[in-house]
A = this chain, B = another copy of it.
Amino acid sequence: MVYNSGEKVRKACRNKSLTKQTSGLAPGFVQANLVILPKDWAWDFIVFAQRNPKPCPILEVGELGDYTTKFLAKSADIRTDLPKYRVFKNGKMEDEVTDLINLWQDDYIYFLIGCSFSFEEALLYSGLEIRHITQNRNVPMYKTNIICSAAGRFKETPMVVSMRPFKTTDVIKAVTITREFPGVHGAPVHIGNPEIIGIEDINRPDWGDSVTIDKDEVPLFWACGVTPQMAATVAAPPIMITHSPGHMFVGDLKNYEFKI
């Protein structure tokens, strides 16, 4: 199933006909990670994002208590328009839900954060294969030893990365294309040996699915919007709600609007 607009994806989420991951859905339209925090925690988080723009490029911030979007989409409802959400309490994932109707509070502020699905399209258009799309899996994501800068109660936190393998001859192409999208993670943070960034087993990702890496291929690692979930396990705010990994917000803006 492919939807031909962000609005149709959001409508399918709203009526619960779509609860699975969104990679490859609504080609052309921007996808975003979601973080919701109470006002008391919003300042620390936005400064954490400012200090760590590779994993946390903020694309939109809501007004206090407001669950409707203005910029990435006109009047999307953050409470219902994603396929799946995760609820963290005191840093622990407590629940996975398909809407936030009964959970939304007046003191919540939402953040929409750039997602690598946006640059995947540019890679595909340039003739590169994206393995997890070919294999119909969720992108593999890993905790690393790359440390994000602290901000207030968000202490130093391991960066989460997503991985895509490419032939050695295509590595430069993948780097030069993705660097043109700094608002959706930009260029990779690491190329090659996974051990250098603290990944022990490339076949056992911490989130998402494992994908095949052929012998003539090199793994490329990009900063990932799941990093705030990692930061939340360390900072342990009383409540924090996010998208489920791979289950993104889909907007009305086009990916190419995020190209510099």
Q: In the complex, what distance in Å separates the CA atom of A186 from the CA atom of B182? A: 12
> A181: nearest residue on chain B (CB-CB)?
B260
> A64: nearest residue on chain B (CB-CB)?
B152
The range of chain A's interface size is 20 to 34
A50 engages B43 (CB within 8 Å): no
- Out of B50, B179, B182, B260, which one reaches A46, CB within 8 Å? B50
Residues in B whose Cβ lies below 8 Å from that of A152: 63
In the assembled complex, A122 has its CB within 8 A of some CB on chain B: no
A260 engages B47 (CB within 8 Å): no
A61 engages B50 (CB within 8 Å): yes
- Out of B42, B71, B151, which one reaches A43, CB within 8 Å? B42
A179 engages B260 (CB within 8 Å): yes
Q: In the complex, what distance in Å separates the CA atom of A71 from the CA atom of B152? A: 15
A260 engages B182 (CB within 8 Å): yes
In the assembled complex, A218 has its CB within 8 A of some CB on chain B: no
In the assembled complex, A187 has its CB within 8 A of some CB on chain B: yes
* Distance (whole angstroms) from the CB of A111 to the closest CB of chain B: 9
In the assembled complex, A224 has its CB within 8 A of some CB on chain B: no
In the assembled complex, A35 has its CB within 8 A of some CB on chain B: no
* Distance (whole angstroms) from the CB of A31 to the closest CB of chain B: 19
Residues in B whose Cβ lies below 8 Å from that of A47: 46, 61
In the assembled complex, A220 has its CB within 8 A of some CB on chain B: no
Chain A residues 108 to 143 lying within 8 A of chain B, measured CB to CB, are none
Chain A residues 47 to 71 lying within 8 A of chain B, measured CB to CB, are 47, 50-51, 58, 60-61, 63, 71
A71 engages B46 (CB within 8 Å): no
> A53: nearest residue on chain B (CB-CB)?
B183
Give 13 A-B contacts (CB < 8 Å), ordered by A residue.
A42-B43, A46-B47, A46-B50, A47-B61, A50-B58, A50-B60, A51-B61, A51-B71, A61-B151, A71-B149, A179-B260, A182-B182, A187-B260
Q: Which 10 A-B pairs have the closest CB atoms?
A: A47-B61, A182-B260, A179-B260, A50-B61, A50-B58, A46-B46, A182-B182, A43-B43, A186-B260, A260-B260
